[in-house]
Chain A
Amino acid sequence: MIDTQSLIAQSAAKIHERNGGRAVLHGDVAPDSYWDAIIENGLHLAWASEDAGGFGAPLSEVAGAIWNMTPAALPFVETLIANKLLELGGLELAKGRASYAIGAADGVHIIPFADAAEDVVLFGDGHIAHYKSHDLECRAIDSLSPDADGAADFSKANPIKCAHTNISLSNVEAIILTLRSVQMAAAMDGALSLSIDHVSAREQFGRPLSKFQAIQHQLAVAASQVAAANMAASQACAALSNDMKSAWHEAAIAKVQIGESIEGATSAFQQVHGAIGYTMEYDLHHYSRRLWAWRDALGNEHIWAQKLGDDLAQKDSNKLWRGVTTGVW
């Protein structure tokens, strides 16, 4: 579930509004005051357990905070994930902006939103390692999103701390995919609001675009995709809150469903906006470009459909039905 009304989520919404609301999007980076308020309210530590130095807030509430701040140009989700990984390695949490990477300590790996991160947490080979960004030679790589990815050669740096962990790659994938699914559903919802406002205000042929049935139906279809994305993200959150070991399944489903839904929804949003939506002068690109980047992160929906299908093909048809109805893998 995604609880946008919880205290944590409300405080995120307030921070978002105070720092400009929708206008916060106009810079490619959110104002420093925005991140400072996150730190002040401890939102970056909200999800980590109390033992680890966090607040142990339920994922449903943390997801609500993510929802209410999307798509501000801040590494909030990345920091939440990095801190969860540090917690799982029994290491001290990061104090500021952080991000993560997956892979062996002697390889080159992608770091989401690398520019913004002061700390980077690497998961791989049964280890969790904490690096300072300035120790990593990070190279910007071509990116669909303004929150650009970077790539770093981890063999050229030493972590400040490192610990053994017995969590599996699929646990880590479940964490990343689930939080991203919330972010994607939220950005789709935001872009839908923008589109509704636009077609209600813009007039052609002497009436608002919203009065044309073709426009109504495009947005109705897109809204259904937004609702589906929301459900997929909610089910992924519920699974991850319940039992991390079985969460991979719902997280993979969310990845596939939302990846597919994004194409239908964003093409409708772009279409009903006309040319203005295809500019840097209007807000839609902040949503579209991030959605197109997030759906590719950690493998696109096609790769994940293949993974799910490969797994399902091993199972009998009773398990297929059980998965559909109960989410149990």
Chain B
Amino acid sequence: MNRFNFPAIKPNPALEELRSEVQAFLLAEKEAGYFHSEPECWMSSSDPEFSRKMGARGWIGMNWKGYGGHNRSALERYIVTEETLRFGAPVGAHWIADRQHAPMLIEHGTEAQKADILPRIAAGECYFAIGLSEPGAGSDLAAVKTKAEKLPDGTWKLNGQKIWSSGAQHAHYMVSLVRTSPPDGRNRHVGLSQVLIDMSAHGVSVRPISDLAGDAHFNEVTYDDVILPADALLGEEGGGWQQVTSELAMERSGPERFLSSYVTLEQAVIELQGKMSSSARARLGLIYANLRTLRGMSFGIAKLLEQGVSPETEAALVKDLGNSLENKVTQNVRAMIGELPINELSDTMKRIINIGVLRSPPNSLRGGTTEVMRGIIARQLGLR
């Protein structure tokens, strides 16, 4: 029974009060026309203006103390993030920095970096990109070749190439996994380090890549003799592999791993009010049961974060189940709305479901593929 750890969480009125506040804000923004709901908003809908408004309300940087943080619980942060996903709000600009780079800086950053960067993240003004994948290193992340060479004066010279870096074209910083010394024989996990890269540094170039939906949200990033200051090394020299494992656990831990397509379901329920066939209702019942169950598991992960437990396996499990569910939601919504003549569907519904279909493939790729997640779960089962 204790193969996995998904703590149960008691209902909490204070959390519901916070939820109402967030809902009121999001509804007002949406009704004022400041945004249109979109599937996968956390990745593909960026609006710095909106991020600043979230920052001003104290809904970014909720989980750290000092440095502009609001010292609130991981459960409170969860409520805010799930509400923004439900509304399909344009949270993409600040999402990654708030989710994984702020915690990384708190743990490994210098005093000066924390004082300089964290308050700007919390204000919704400073954005980050993730520099893990390379052309030759996807699932096999330890194959990264980008190299940081220590110069006699303690600074670093960076050369190499990252790819699929989401939001790098708007990011102020990027944290990359790089080789700082050669592997030890067959052990490639040694000699890897994480470095903080100022995207305005000389020698950094960014080339956007159009995704299948036609948005250029991810990029190829090239480092050509980029000189990084000595304190660009985050954490330990050679400790990059362990650090990345915790980073990835954070990256996979949130509700965006099962709610990316929720807005399509909500729109369908609105449009089909009073018109749903019996089979459409059965689909709704099934999807709803799946959503409620996964929500319990995903919220349990927030509790683990609060307890200071790294949710590596649980996050992988919820991500795998959640990615399947996101696509199952999209497919079931197609079936449900397909019962209506196309001209009875609103333009909004058509737009949202099309985006939902186009943005289905990456759910089970980014943040680690299905196969990688299943490998992590299998390890927990003692099979590898």
Which label, helix, strand, loop or mixed, suits the secondary structure of the B interface?
helix
B304 at the interface (CB under 8 A from A): no
Given contacts A216-B375, A231-B293, A327-B292, A308 and B285 within 8 Å (CB-CB): yes
Q: Are A231 and B266 in touch, CB under 8 angstroms?
A: no
Q: Are B293 and A235 in touch, CB under 8 angstroms?
A: yes
A21 at the interface (CB under 8 A from B): no
State which of B3, B10, B375 has its C-beta within 8 Å of the C-beta of A223: B3
- Contact pattern, A 209-243, Cβ under 8 Å of B = 1, otherwise 0: 01101011101110110111011101100100010
Which residues from A are CB-within-8-Å of B14? Answer: none
Q: Are A235 and B381 in touch, CB under 8 angstroms?
A: no
Give the bracket for the number of chain A residues in contact with chain B: 35 or more
List B residues 251-307 near A (Cβ within 8 Å): 265-266, 269-270, 272-273, 276, 278, 280-286, 288-297, 300
Which residues from B are CB-within-8-Å of A192? Answer: 3
Given contacts A238-B8, A312-B281, A313-B276, A200 and B383 within 8 Å (CB-CB): yes
Which label, helix, strand, loop or mixed, suits the secondary structure of the A interface?
helix
Which residues from B are CB-within-8-Å of A320? Answer: 265-266, 269, 288
Q: Are B6 and A309 in touch, CB under 8 angstroms?
A: no
A93 at the interface (CB under 8 A from B): no
Q: Are A312 and B285 in touch, CB under 8 angstroms?
A: yes
For the A-B complex, the count of residue pairs with Cβ-Cβ distances under 8 Å equals 169
Q: Are B284 and A309 in touch, CB under 8 angstroms?
A: yes
Which residues from A are CB-within-8-Å of B285? Answer: 256, 304-310, 312
Q: Are A256 and B6 in touch, CB under 8 angstroms?
A: no
Q: Closest CB of chain B to A307's CB: distance in Å? A: 7
Which residues from A are CB-within-8-Å of B270? Answer: 316-317
In this complex, the member of A219, A220, A223, A309 whose beta carbon has the largest number of chain B beta carbons within 10 angstroms is A220
- Contact pattern, B 310-339, Cβ under 8 Å of A = 1, otherwise 0: 000000010011000000000000000000
A34 at the interface (CB under 8 A from B): no
A79 to B82, CA, bound (A): 41
Q: Are A257 and B290 in touch, CB under 8 angstroms?
A: yes
Which residues from A are CB-within-8-Å of B265? Answer: 320
B384 at the interface (CB under 8 A from A): yes
Which residues from A are CB-within-8-Å of B296? Answer: 231-232, 234-235
Q: Closest CB of chain A to B368's CB: distance in Å? A: 13
Which residues from A are CB-within-8-Å of B269? Answer: 312-313, 316-317, 320
Question: Can you list 5 pairs linking A and B with CB atoms under 8 Å apart?
Answer: A189-B3, A228-B297, A313-B276, A320-B266, A321-B86
Instruction: List the 9 shortest-distance A-B pairs measured between CB atoms, nearest first.
Output: A309-B285, A309-B281, A308-B285, A305-B285, A216-B378, A256-B289, A220-B377, A220-B374, A309-B284
